[in-house]
Structure 1
Amino acid sequence: MLYAYTTRAGKIVRLQPGDELQSAIWIDLVQPGDAEIRQLREIGVDVPSLAEMEEIEISNRLYRENGLDYMTGVIPGERADGGREAMPVSFILSDQRLVTVRHHSPRPFLTFPERAERSTLGCSTPDRLFMGLIDEIIARLADILEGSGRVLDRSMASVFERGASSAASDRLQEALQEIGREAELLSRVRLGLLTIERILAFYISIIDERPEAKRLRPVIKGQLRDVQALEVHADFLSSRVSLGVDTTLGMINLQQNNTVRILSVVAALFLPPTLIASIYGMNFANMPELDKPWGYPMALGLMAATAAAVWFVLRWRKWL
C-alpha cells in the first residue's frame, strides 16, 4: 500500500491515486508489493526488503547509497493481525522527498499527517518533515512509558491491597501477568529509543551537507537529549518491573506458606488423637480398658484433651 503526500499552504495533503509521485514530498509504503516497489524504482528509490530491514548490523541500517540516506529503526506498533510488535521502519531521505517503508502500523504514522504543520520545524522540506516525524515517534514512546508507569502503579497497589485469601491469589496472579506484559512493552520501547538515538547520531553526522544545517542541528540535539532522558526513564521503569515481580512472587510465597502452615497445624492437632486411636485399635488380648464401661469415653476425652493441649501450645508459641 502506498500513501503519497505533498505540501499545500504549509500543510501536507495526500495525493490522489494517479497523481505523479514526482510531486510527493513524503511517500509512505506499508507492506509494499511489487507494483509499489517498481513505482519507487522509477523515481530513483530502491526499496529495501523486510529481510534487509531486519539486519541488525549498523552498516545495514544506517548507510548512504546513490545519494539517498537510508536509516532504519525498530518502532513498536500494531501488526495487520491486530497483535503488537516492534518491527523495523526505514527512512529514506533525499533532497526531494522522504520515503518511509514499514510492515506494521506505528501510531505516529497515522497521527502525524494531520498535525505535521504544528511540529517544531513544520513540513516545508523533506528534512523538516523527517524531523517532525521523528519528534512524533519520540512523543509516542514517551506516552507509552507514561502509560506503563500508571499500569505499574495500579499493579503495585493491588499487590499490597488487603483482601480474602482466594481473592488475593487471583489478584496477585493478575498483577504478575500485568507486570509481565509491561516488561515486554518496555523492552520494545527501549529498543525503539536505542535505534532512534542511532538514527539521530547518523543524521547529525551528515547534517552539514543539508542546506538548513544551521537550523536543523539544534533540533536534532534537543531530540537526542529527549531520547536519552526517556532511556533513563525506561531504565527506571524496568527496575520497577523487577521490584514488582519480586514483590508479587514474595507475596505469593507468603500466601503459600500460610496455606502450608494451616495444613501443618491441622495435622499437628490430629496427630495425638490419631496416636491414641491407633493404640486402642491394636488387637492385643490384655488391654483392660477395652472391657471397662468408661474405656470408650476415656479414650475420646483423652483424644480431645491432647488436641486441645496442642492447640494451646501453638497459640502460646504464636504459630496461630
Structure 2
Amino acid sequence: MLRIYYKKDRRLAKETDLDELREIPMESMIWVDLQNPTAKEKATIETYFDIKYSSEEQSQEIESSSRFSEMEDELIINSNFLSIREKGFVYCPVSIIVEKGILFTYRDDDLKTFGESVKKIKASPASYSNGFQIFLTILETSIDQDADLIESLAKRIAELNQQLTLRKVSPDEEILIQISSFQNETMSLRENIIDKQRLISALMKSSIFPEEYMGVLRIMIKDISSLLEHNKFSFERLEYLQDTFMGFVNIEQNRIIKIFTVATVAFMPPTLIASIYGMNYKVMPELDWEYGYLFAITLMFISSAGTLIYFKKKNWL
C-alpha cells in the first residue's frame, strides 16, 4: 500500500495511486509511506526519488552502523516498533529515510503508531511543512504508546500481586507462567525504549537534523529516562512477586510435609503395638484372652489419640 502526503493549498493531501506520482510537485511532498507494498511500488519509489530502503536483515541488525547513518543530505534509520499480538509483543522493523525534507518509511505491518500519527497530522495539518516534523510526531507517538503499554502492564502486575497476596488464587504453575510472561513483556518494552533512546541520541548528534527541533528531542530523552525508571520498577516488582510466589509454594509444601510427618508419628505407637502382638511366640497370655483383640485395638487408639493431643498442646498442629 502506498500513501503520499503532500502540501496543497495550506493543507495536507494524500495520494495512493502510483500513477499520479509524477503529477505531484517534488517540493510539495513531505511523507511517502509504504506499507507491505508490491514490488512495483517499492521499485518505482526507489527509482523516482533515488533512494534505497534497507532490507529486512539490515533493519533487524543491532549494530549502530546499521541502525543509523547519515550522508550529505540523507538520514538512514532502521528501528523496531512494537506490535501487540495474541502471544505478546512482536518487533516490527521499519526502514526510515529522511532526504531533502521528505520522510520515507517502509514497513510490512499495520502499526498502531503510524495510524495514531496520521490522526494527529490530520487534526493540525498546517503545523506540518516537512518530513522532519512528521518523523518527530511518529517518535512522540511511539513513546506515548510505550508509556501506555508500561502503565497497562504495571496495572496487570498489581492485580496479580493483589490476588496472590489475598490468596484469591492458589500458587500453581499457571501463576508462574503468567509472571514469566510479564517479565518477557517488560524486557521487550525495555529493549524497544532503549532502541528509541539510541536513535534520538544519534539524531541529536546529527549535522543534518535541523537545530530548531533539538529542543523536542531533549524532551523526548527526558520522557524516555522516566519510562526506563518505570519499567525498572515493574521488573523489580515482578521479582518481588516471584519471590512471594515461591514463598507461598514453600509454605504449602511445608504444610504437606508437616501433615505427613504428624500422620507418620501418630501411627507409630499403634504400629508398635500391632508388631508386638504379631510376633509368633507360643507363650503370649493375651492370645487366649477373650478381650485381647478389643484390648489391642483400644490400646492402639489411645496411643494414637494421645500423640495427637500432645502435638496439639505443643502447638505443633
Secondary structure of 1:284 counterpart? coil
Aligned 8 A contact 2:179 2:242 in 1:
yes
2:256 maps to 1:285: no
Partner of 2:211: 213
Could you report, residue by residue, the CA deviation over 1:184-206 in whole angstroms, capped at 9, with x for unpaired residues?
11111111111111111111112
The separation in 1 between residues aligned to 2:278 and 2:37, in whole angstroms, is 84
Partner of 1:179: 179
TM-score (norm 2): 0.88
Question: Structure 1, unaligned stretches of length 5 or more?
Answer: none
The separation in 1 between residues aligned to 2:59 and 2:102, in whole angstroms, is 20
Partner of 1:168: 170
TM-score (norm 1): 0.88
Alignment of 1:198-209 (within 5 A): 198-206=198-206, 208-209=207-208
User: Structure 1 runs of 4+ off > 6 angstroms?
Assistant: none
Aligned 8 A contact 1:142 1:230 in 2:
yes
Aligned 8 A contact 1:72 1:91 in 2:
yes
Aligned 8 A contact 2:73 2:100 in 1:
no
Q: Cα 1:31–1:265, aligned 2, differ >3 Å: closer, same or farther?
A: farther
Partner of 2:40: 35
The separation in 1 between residues aligned to 2:231 and 2:148, in whole angstroms, is 12
Partner of 1:133: 138
Partner of 1:61: 67
- 2:160 corresponds, among 151, 155, 159, to 155
Partner of 2:225: 228
Deviation at 1:26, TM superposition (A): 1.9
Range moving further from structure 2, 237-246 or 19-28: 19-28
Could you report, residue by residue, the CA deviation over 1:207-233 in whole angstroms, capped at 9, with x for unpaired residues?
x545x522x111111011111111111
Secondary structure of 2:267 counterpart? helix
The separation in 1 between residues aligned to 2:117 and 2:303, in whole angstroms, is 78
Could you report, residue by residue, the CA deviation over 1:127-164 in whole angstroms, capped at 9, with x for unpaired residues?
0000011000000000001011101110100111135x
The separation in 1 between residues aligned to 2:298 and 2:41, in whole angstroms, is 91
Aligned 8 A contact 1:141 1:189 in 2:
yes
Letter in 1 for 2:89: R
Aligned 8 A contact 1:11 1:117 in 2:
no
Letter in 2 for 1:63: S
Deviation at 1:89, TM superposition (A): 2.3
The separation in 2 between residues aligned to 1:175 and 1:316, in whole angstroms, is 37
Range moving further from structure 2, 146-155 or 30-39: 30-39
Aligned 8 A contact 1:78 1:104 in 2:
no
Deviation at 1:14, TM superposition (A): 3.5
* Percent of residue pairs bearing the same amino acid type: 25
Q: Cα 1:270–1:62, aligned 2, differ >3 Å: closer, same or farther?
A: same
2:128 maps to 1:143: no
